[in-house]
Amino acid sequence: MYTVLLVDDNMTNLVLVRQLVSRVDDCEILTFCDPVAALACLETTEVDLMLVDYVMPEIDGVEFTRRVRRMKRHATVPLVVVTTTDERAVLIEALEAGATDFLTKPLDPLEFRVRVRNLLALRRAQKQLAARAAILDREVRIKTQELVERESEIIWRLTRATERRDTDTGDHIARMSRICAIIAEGLGLSEEDCRLVEAAAQMHDVGKVGIPDEILFKPGPLTPEERKVMETHAAIGWTILEGSKSRLLQMAAEIAVSHHEKWDGSGYPRGLAGEAIPLAGRITALADVFDALLSVRPYKPAWPIEKARAFVAEASGAHFDPACVEVFFRRFDEIAAIAGTGCDAAPAAA
């Protein structure tokens, strides 16, 4: 069943057009003498075809068409302007306003019937296409969710492996990755990129699986030689993660190899400086160091939060990207709340 809307301020014309439409099968007809009332009806009613007179008081057929096309639900519904003239300027104005077609009075019954049938067939095709698009959209959302779940499983398994070979706790990884997301958001990254940064940052130290136990778990300071071995975890992480077609693993590889680079070029493993360091690596560097300072490690106690905050301020432009630091302080209340949830974080008053 199709719904056809008729608008004409002349009752005689309205009755005539209604009779013509009634000869087309499966049509429910709505008639209006007042275009304002018709527009109000369209706010809540779905229709399949509109036949609108051109000459009407207050709102003519062209203006009616413009207002209809501003309604999202009726943006593509076939709309015919019925005129008493074939003047080119009038017809062009109607088409530019969004009319699908036009008919000239006096109406030819045979032509009218064929035009209406063709336009209703167009509407049927539009609906079928929209239904197929909705099905495809639902399938894409399902597949996307499946992909997100698979990626989440990858992260979970890699971080489990890392935790078994690292002094960092799972709580630290969760906190620092959430801080990464806040900084990324503050820098204006898209919602999707913020999600990727948060997820990928959890794999930043996956390369530590390749570091010998006697170095990785050493309770005291490392010798220069041991430090060099420890620093290879960044390149090892890159080797593990690079080459994937997944955007998540591509970003994770970037973070793994660059989160120990420093803004002034004094970091490792490549000695990159400034914006040559991948943005995700710059974000992770700040979040990782800040939360690590607040955490207990075999080689140090937890720092008070104000001391860690001061360290970040002092290291801006040297260790850390100043833009990341600016966001860090602008969103500090949120970051401090996250850092304070860890059982190994020092209280602010310590």
Domain definitions of the chain by residue range: 2-135, 165-339
Task: Give the DSSP H/E element, type plus range, for residue 32.
Answer: strand 27-32
Cis bond upstream, residue 322 (ω within 30): no
Q: Quick one: pLDDT band at residue 162, thresholds 50, 70, 90?
A: low
Each residue's pLDDT tens digit, 45-55: 999 999 999 98
Same CATH topology for 2-135 and 165-339: the answer is no
Each residue's pLDDT tens digit, 245-293: 888 899 999 999 999 999 999 999 999 999 999 999 999 999 999 999 9
Topology adopted by domain 165-339: Hypothetical protein af1432 (1.10.3210)
Q: Where are the alpha helices (DSSP H) in the chain?
A: 11-22, 35-42, 61-69, 88-97, 109-164, 170-186, 191-201, 213-216, 224-241, 247-258, 279-293, 305-315, 322-330, 332-339
pTM of the complete model beyond 0.95: no
Q: Quick one: pLDDT band at residue 90, thresholds 50, 70, 90?
A: confident
Answer yes or no: CATH 3.30.497.10 is held by domain 2-135.
no
Spell out a b/e string for 68-104, using b for 16 or more CB atoms within 10 Å of the CB, else e.
bbeeeebeebbbbbbbeeeeeebbebbeebbbbbbbb
Of the candidates 317, 313, 299, 235, the one whose C-alpha atom is nearest the C-alpha of residue 268 is: 235
